[in-house]
Amino acid sequence: MKILFVCTGNICRSPMAEGILRSKLSKAGIKAEIDSCGFESFHIGDHPDNRAQSICRNYGIDISGHVARLFRKNDFDSFDRIYVMDASHYYSVSRIARSAADLKKVDYMLNLQYPGQDLPVDDPWYHDIHAFEKTYLQLDAACERLIEQLLSSKPGPQ
């Protein structure tokens, strides 16, 4: 399974989601490829925002090594699932999708918890550390659902 998280700057929400899922996958013993990217070029090449790093560190997750990059068309070929944080990313990814098969890979992150509701993950960028904590908890709960999904679809020993 290859999973991509998408946000705006790729320095807060999507690298946090990537780090959280990576940690849960490792604990659950599930092998998967995870990455994250963004849609705005302001922070290409940057490491995650210090506040995002700090909150993740508090939960034992190191996201300092991530380097921000933009979404690219061949991400549709490289990933099985693409989770966006809000409607602006859904719209941006949809515009680049080449086919119904591409679009089928895309969903809102919080639809993992609240199917079909298309709710946004709060953007903490303009806010204080408490907003980052709230966003972390939203992402953590959604990643937990994803792990449950992956475990329930995992083939048993043959």
Please report how close the Cβ of residue 136 comes to ligand 4NP at its closest, in angstroms: 12
Q: Does 138 bind ligand 4NP (CB under 6 A)?
A: no
- Does the active-site annotation cover 80? no
19 vs 38, which CB is nearer to ligand 4NP? 38
Three-state secondary structure readout of 17-69: HHHHHHHHHHHHCCCCEEEEEECCHHHCCCCCCHHHHHHHHHCCCCCCCCCCC
Please report how close the Cβ of residue 6 comes to ligand 4NP at its closest, in angstroms: 9
Q: Which of 7, 12, 56, 143 is catalytic?
A: 7
Q: What secondary structure letter does DSSP report for 2?
A: E
Q: State the CB neighbour count (10 A cutoff) for residue 5.
A: 31
| Position with the least CB separation from ligand 4NP | 9
42 vs 114, which CB is nearer to ligand 4NP? 42
Please report how close the Cβ of residue 10 comes to ligand 4NP at its closest, in angstroms: 5
Cβ density class 80-105: b for 16+ within 10 Å, e for less: ebbbbbbeebbebbeeebeeeebbeb
| Of residues 7-46, those binding ligand 4NP (CB under 6 A) | 7-13, 38, 42-43
Q: What secondary structure letter does DSSP report for 119?
A: P
| Of residues 114-133, those binding ligand 4NP (CB under 6 A) | 123, 125
CA–CA distance, 117 with 78 (Å, rounded to integer): 27
What residues make contact with ligand 4NP under the rule CB under 6 A?
7-13, 38, 42-43, 123, 125
As annotated, the active-site residues are: 7, 13, 123
